[in-house]
Amino acid sequence: PVSDPVLDVRCLQNGSAEISCWVEKGTDPSIYLNVSAELEVYNVTSSEWTARVTVPPVSPPDSWNIRCTAKNVFSERSTNQKQDACPGEVLSGMRSGQSHLLSPIAVFVFYTVLLIFIVNDLRKMKNEKNQRERRTRRRDQMEMEMEPTYYDDRN
């Protein structure tokens, strides 16, 4: 007969988890490891003494239901465990989710400020052009209003 399966969960620095299941006794065991969260399921089958799976960080943090079954021709044994998601990168992953949100906001603000500067420059250019045209019109009007000067060329 196979021995009761042993489960081991190791949290890695990046927030993922390495989940292992093994048996210490039994002839030709097959190990079936099932890890399920709310939205994800991982199944690993091994004909060795150990089955192992690495589960990526879960965001938002969730718990996993882990079931390990060891079988051979003589017996079948199972171990179940509920495991909270690993800490670590999960929280900073949520922060990076916020930074993903901040990125489009920053781009929007940048383009809005750029648009404001462009519109202001266009207004200044238009005002300067209008002022030049007014000066030219005034000068032309003044020239037209001046009395003609006649020169006597008899000398």
CATH number at residue 22: 2.60.40.10
The sign of the CA dihedral 91, 94, 96, 98 is negative
In a domain, 74, yes or no: yes
Task: Pull the structure tokens for residue 48.
Answer: 């060795």
- For 22-37, write each residue's pLDDT tens digit: 999 988 889 999 888 7
Residue 51, domain extent: 6-87
Task: Assess whether pLDDT exceeds 80 at residue 146.
Answer: no
Task: Assess whether pLDDT exceeds 70 at residue 93.
Answer: no
Indicate whether 13 and 79 sit together in one domain: yes
Indicate whether 77 and 117 sit together in one domain: no
Provide the Cα torsion 102, 108, 112, 115; round to 10°.
Answer: 140
Indicate whether 133 and 79 sit together in one domain: no
Indicate whether 10 and 27 sit together in one domain: yes
At residue 94 the predicted structure's pLDDT band, cuts being 50, 70 and 90, is very low
Indicate whether 23 and 74 sit together in one domain: yes
Indicate whether 11 and 83 sit together in one domain: yes
How far, in Å, CA of 148 to CA of 132, rounded? 26
Total number of domains constituting the chain: 2
Q: What length is written for the chain? A: 155
